[in-house]
Amino acid sequence: QLQVAVALGVSDKTISGYESARISPPVEKLIGLAELFKKPIAFFLGSDPKQYKVASRLRAVEIALADVKNQLKEIKLISQNVDLDN
């Protein structure tokens, strides 16, 4: 629990809460868990069909976020090149 907590930037008590379903992880922590354990987000949501719908939407958000990050990197590179030209 401690290693997972450190990786996610939360306390081990928070991880315990996630495990016992006393608390639900926020989206960014859910994504972090999925990446950490190399599992799809749906793995952490159980078998409820509504949860799969949520997982599908989360995956779409993940993809969109990755696209935005890539665009920001490109903008940063372009702005650095413009600064070098001046």
Q: Report the predicted TM-score, pTM, of the whole model to 2 decimal places.
A: 0.54
Give me the pLDDT at residue 28, please. Answer: 86
Is the confidence at residue 69, as pLDDT, over 90?
yes
**Closest by Cα among 61, 7, 76 to 35:** 7
The mean pLDDT value for 54-58 works out to: 73
Residue 40 has pLDDT above 90, yes or no: no
Predicted local distance difference test score (pLDDT) of residue 51 = 63
Q: How far apart are CA 15 and CA 36, in angstroms?
A: 13
Tell me the C-alpha distance between 64 and 70, whole Å. Answer: 10
Helix (H) or strand (E) holding 47: none
Average model confidence (pLDDT) for the chain?
84
Neighbours of 31 (CB within 10 A): 19
